Amino acid sequence: MEPSPGARRHGPVPGPRLPRPAGSRLRARGVTAVSVVALAALATGCEPGAAPGAQTAPRQTPATRPAAPSPARTEPVPAPSTAEPSTVPPRPSASAPAPAPTTARPVPEPSAAPPARVLMRTGSESDRVRELQARLRQIGHFGRNPTGYYGSVTADSVRSFQAKRGLTTTGSTDETTWKRLLAMTRTPTAEELRPPTERPLATPDKRCLTGRVLCVSKSSRTLAWMIDGRVVSAMDVRFGSEYTPTREGEFEVFWKSRDHVSTLYDTPMPYALFFSGGQAVHYSADFAANGYGGASHGCVNVRDKKKVAALFDQVKNGDKVVVFR
């Protein structure tokens, strides 16, 4: 039914108020309560619940930022640290047991005793070296006669003595080695200190026991100038090689030449005493310099120039020469 004109001018005539259903009032209150909770959540910074726009809003949760402390606690909670753990050990409490002592090996202190002073070494040359060699020879550590020169043979002999007595094997004679050797040996005699040759003389061949004889032993590599079985002088000698051997047997001196030079090898042969063809007893500068590392061309080489010079003056033509093993 169309309303009357008055009604259109003054608005609708209010009708009687009808009561709302109880459910609608509860729903309205519920919407209001949810809105309040959502606003409160946004204000305090907690995570949003089911508020509108929660699905599109990004979640910002810092990985290392600690959560805000609760206002209900009165003591602050320390934030977790992301730094490396400290290497300083914690201070033990009064009730905790003391840590066990370490078993690290102590560093040894250097010895205060200085090393023994060296008295003789390779290259030394003196009467004390001669005595050293004679004493080593007494107890079987030196197989030659004393020379007074500290060479490789003497160093090896000292090293052998040191090793057998538990000493440091240096090959040099220090104070400790010398004192030990003095305690084990006696004072050498004059003959032990200055024997006629570097090597011990061999037992003379029976042909050397009568007359005036140059008694030459290949086994001991020595020459003994003997008169009626008595040794007047002796010296070290070397012989020819296997290709030019020194002849063995009994001969006579048939020619003396003081400043001889070999016509075959063009080499000097001072104080030559010829006894068999071109073979002679004579001084050899090569033997004096190089020892037994070389050989003659068949002659009997002498390395002591003074001794062979004296021998040259004493020997006469016709004197006997015996060369034997």
Catalytic residues: 282, 299
- Those residues with Cβ within 8 angstroms of residue 117's Cβ, 6 or more apart along the chain or in another chain: 174, 175
The span from the CA of 78 to the CA of 72, in Å, is 16
Q: 173-174 and 300-302: which strand pairing?
A: unpaired
* Phi, psi dihedrals of residue 252, rounded to the nearest 5°: -130, 145
- Provide the token pair at 39: 């606003």
C-alpha span between 100 and 109 (Å, rounded)? 25
